[in-house]
Chain A
Amino acid sequence: MKYIIMLYASQQDYDLMVGNPTDRPAWDPEAVAKMHAFMEQWTGELVESGEFVDGQGLAAPAHTRRIQGGRDGAPVVTDGPYPETQEVLAGYTIVECDSFDRATEIAARVTECPSPSGEPNGSEYIDVRPLANYQSDLEI
């Protein structure tokens, strides 16, 4: 089974990580390097165990474009639709493993990721969801 592990962050979290302080102090380069080293090791172990399928980090939420169907049929495009503090998808890793419990175990390790705010990647939670599959059971 394949599972997606989703990490979240707000525009403010991104700003802190790239050295642009808000009402909270920005991360220093050492803190960023520690977080990267942790995530690199986490990903590396999944590559080694053969469970890694794909993983990407997303650019800051400010770079989002939202497209909605307009009433007159022409799509409406909005730049940067999120409030500064809204936590949105910041990165994901897709794993292929034996069970939901194993995927949960993998995802839970991210809570050990070092961060100045004490939360993994500045986020309070991590989600794991199975990917939908469209294979019917083999009829025997």
Chain B
Amino acid sequence: MDGVDIEGLLRRLAPQVLGAVVRRYGHFDLAEDATQEALVAAVAQWPGDGVPDDPRAWLIRVASRRLTDLLRSDQARQRREDTVAAWTLPEERLAAPADQPPSDSDDTLVLLFLCCHPALSPASQIALTLRAVGGLSTAEIARAFLVPEATMTRRISRAKQRIRDSRAPFRMPAGDERSERLAAVLHTLYLIFNEGYASTSGPYLQRTELAAEAIRLARTVHRLLPDDAEVTGLLALMLLTDARRPARTGPYGELIPMADQDRGLWDAAAIAEGVALVSEALPAGDTGPYQVQAAIAALHDEAASADETDWPQIVALYEVLLRLGDNPMVALNHAAAVGMAKGPAAGLALLEGLASDRRVAEDHRFYAVRAHLEEMAGDPVAARESYDLAARRTTNLPQQRYLHGRAARLGR
């Protein structure tokens, strides 16, 4: 069994195993622990003993045995504490009629919906999704988010307790609830991607590949819901953004803005896949924010240079985004795009209007955009001051370095 990617296999099987165990026995919280232990056992045994003929069945068997042990000790503890257990009722475990056996794919989706339950904070939704669906260990998740392992352990066990207390049944939500919950799932995946994409190297960082993990999970959801245009849009957005990653930093980890990136380094295959996905999603109607953002990313990715970018089209797309929701950061990006399409004066005029919005007026990005437009307008003194103001407002060291570098280019 040499050459088998055991880790990849286990990560793929993790949600299927957990889904099958919860479906049979209920008790999401304990089943999740049992599944993790089965994964750990596989990592220890498979490289030496070889991968079993039916790895999924092996994992379900080991996890079920472990769950039985956990339930016994849990019941004993609960009797001691004399508390009423929030057992899952047998009818809540029944998800589908007997003549329609639930498939593994349904289970993975139901798990995602459960992990992004509205009773949980975004941080807990992210942690639980990465563990229960992504198959990452608590230690890996803790390292990815730069918190001590004990903190992450607590965060995950509290999240599971909340789900247990909410008595959420293990089944697919229906109607409006389903679309709300799907939006929460997509937002969680978006946050995981951002966390991975936005981070750069630093002396204290040792990050699991969160962006790659977010893409893997988005692919799974897209495979399960191929007709949902926002799911397609989110996957496209991730691919089109991640495609630029190789050009985003220099040899010493310094930030390189899109205009100065070597576009030959962009991942052409990821761009082609992303563009195909956007083209497939957009005509499907009901245009949502992920599709629009993906369309903007596609316009950037398809341009041979910053100057050859279709800025008027990007401006139009930002205006669509602004109509979809009041977001000051979108307004800021819109002003920057207007500056490129119609000249810096038009962009600066829009910024003026944003200066009274307290949500952006203290944000370093506001000053960075202003500095860039002032530089374009041929006002190096004002631009230099704005770059310095931006640098002073960010706590991100590589960003500060970039902003000071821009200011230095304009001379003292």
- Interface residue ranges, A against B (CB under 8 Å): 14, 17-20, 26, 29-30, 32-33, 35-36, 38-40, 43-44, 47, 53-57, 59-60, 62-63, 91, 94
Q: Quick check: is B57 within 8 A (CB to CB) of the other chain? A: no
> Cβ of B401 and Cβ of A33 under 8 Å apart?
no
Q: How far is the CA of A60 from the CA of B394 in the complex (A)?
A: 9
Of B203, B205, B253, B401, which one neighbours A18 at CB under 8 angstroms? B401
Name which residue of chain B comes closest to A26, CB basis. Answer: B404
Name which residue of chain A comes closest to B205, CB basis. Answer: A40
**Inside 8 A of B391's CB, which chain A residues have their CB?**
18, 20
CB distance from A56 to the nearest CB of B (A): 6
Of A20, A32, A91, which one neighbours B252 at CB under 8 angstroms? A32
Please list 23 pairs of residues, one from A and one from B, whose beta carbons are closer than 8 Å in the complex, sorted by A's number.
A17-B401, A18-B391, A18-B397, A18-B404, A19-B401, A19-B404, A19-B405, A20-B400, A26-B404, A29-B401, A33-B201, A33-B252, A33-B253, A36-B203, A36-B253, A39-B204, A40-B201, A40-B205, A43-B204, A44-B206, A47-B206, A57-B202, A91-B204
**Inside 8 A of A26's CB, which chain B residues have their CB?**
404
Q: Quick check: is B29 within 8 A (CB to CB) of the other chain? A: no
Q: How far is the CA of A39 from the CA of B204 in the complex (A)?
A: 7
Q: Give the one of B202, B253, B391, B401 with max A CB within 10 A.
A: B401
Q: Quick check: is B148 within 8 A (CB to CB) of the other chain? A: yes
> Cβ of B143 and Cβ of A47 under 8 Å apart?
yes
In the complex, chain B residues 361-412 whose Cβ is within 8 Å of any chain A Cβ = 391-392, 395, 397, 400-401, 404-405, 408
Main SS at interface, chain B:
loop
Main SS at interface, chain A:
helix
In the complex, chain B residues 254-277 whose Cβ is within 8 Å of any chain A Cβ = 254
**Inside 8 A of B8's CB, which chain A residues have their CB?**
none
Query: Nearest 7 CB-CB pairs, A to B?
Result: A39-B203, A59-B395, A33-B252, A29-B252, A18-B400, A19-B404, A18-B401
Name which residue of chain A comes closest to B393, CB basis. Answer: A63
Q: Quick check: is B349 within 8 A (CB to CB) of the other chain? A: no
**Inside 8 A of B252's CB, which chain A residues have their CB?**
29-30, 32-33
Name which residue of chain B comes closest to A44, CB basis. Answer: B206
Q: Quick check: is B3 within 8 A (CB to CB) of the other chain? A: no
Q: How far is the CA of A34 from the CA of B202 in the complex (A)?
A: 11
CB distance from B321 to the nearest CB of A (A): 30
Q: How far is the CA of A35 from the CA of B250 in the complex (A)?
A: 16
Q: How far is the CA of A55 from the CA of B251 in the complex (A)?
A: 25
Q: How far is the CA of A60 from the CA of B203 in the complex (A)?
A: 15
Q: Quick check: is B9 within 8 A (CB to CB) of the other chain? A: no
CB distance from A43 to the nearest CB of B (A): 6
**Inside 8 A of A40's CB, which chain B residues have their CB?**
201-203, 205-206
Name which residue of chain A comes closest to B201, CB basis. Answer: A36
Q: Quick check: is B146 within 8 A (CB to CB) of the other chain? A: yes
> Cβ of B206 and Cβ of A43 under 8 Å apart?
yes
Using known A-B contacts A20-B391, A29-B253, A59-B395, determine if residue A53 contacts B148 with beta carbons closer than 8 Å. yes
**Inside 8 A of B397's CB, which chain A residues have their CB?**
14, 17-18, 57
| Per-position binary interface string of chain B over residues 160-191, scored 1 when its CB falls under 8 Å from any chain A CB and 0 otherwise | 00000000000000000000000000000000
CB distance from B249 to the nearest CB of A (A): 10
Q: How far is the CA of A55 from the CA of B204 in the complex (A)?
A: 6
CB distance from B144 to the nearest CB of A (A): 13
**Inside 8 A of A62's CB, which chain B residues have their CB?**
392
**Inside 8 A of B206's CB, which chain A residues have their CB?**
40, 43-44, 47
CB distance from B363 to the nearest CB of A (A): 14
Using known A-B contacts A17-B397, A20-B391, A29-B252, determine if residue A35 contacts B143 with beta carbons closer than 8 Å. no
> Cβ of A57 and Cβ of B203 under 8 Å apart?
yes
CB distance from A86 to the nearest CB of B (A): 18
**Inside 8 A of A47's CB, which chain B residues have their CB?**
143, 206
CB distance from A124 to the nearest CB of B (A): 18
| Per-position binary interface string of chain B over residues 129-148, scored 1 when its CB falls under 8 Å from any chain A CB and 0 otherwise | 00000000000000100111
> Cβ of A54 and Cβ of B253 under 8 Å apart?
no
Name which residue of chain A comes closest to B148, CB basis. Answer: A54
